[in-house]
Amino acid sequence: MSAGTIDVWAQHVTERFLAEPWLETLMRWTGMPRTPPALDQLLAAMDASDVDMALLAAWHGPMGTLISNDDVAAAVQAHPDRFRGLACVDLTEPMAAIREIRHRVAEGLCRRQGRALAVEPAS
């Protein structure tokens, strides 16, 4: 598959993400439910928008993990032809962050490329 349109910052939101109080106004304004969409719904939205590939981002905010690296890895494993993953770490815990990055490289979610990390589908 040649690279067509790529969404470079996408999230497959979780219940933890949707429970955040700062989303209250958006949820009320849009009438969106606080239930995460199924992965198939994200794929359908991508198809409707002619998006061929999405870079799914994990998200660690000040209050903790909203979209975990495991959530992202599961989505990438389920649809490696449509998703790549972007791991996230808690920078307030530098040694744990290094361990997490090493773990994600070892499992194949991302790979080293020189001094940078490149995202890959999980194998």
pLDDT digit string (tens) for 47-82?
999 999 999 999 988 888 999 999 999 999 999 999
pLDDT for position 110: 67
Would the pLDDT of 123 be above 60? no
Domain 6-119 has CATH 3.90.1150.10: no
pLDDT for position 122: 43
- Closest residue by Cα to residue 101 from 116, 114, 121: 116
pLDDT for position 75: 94
For the chain, what is the mean pLDDT? 85
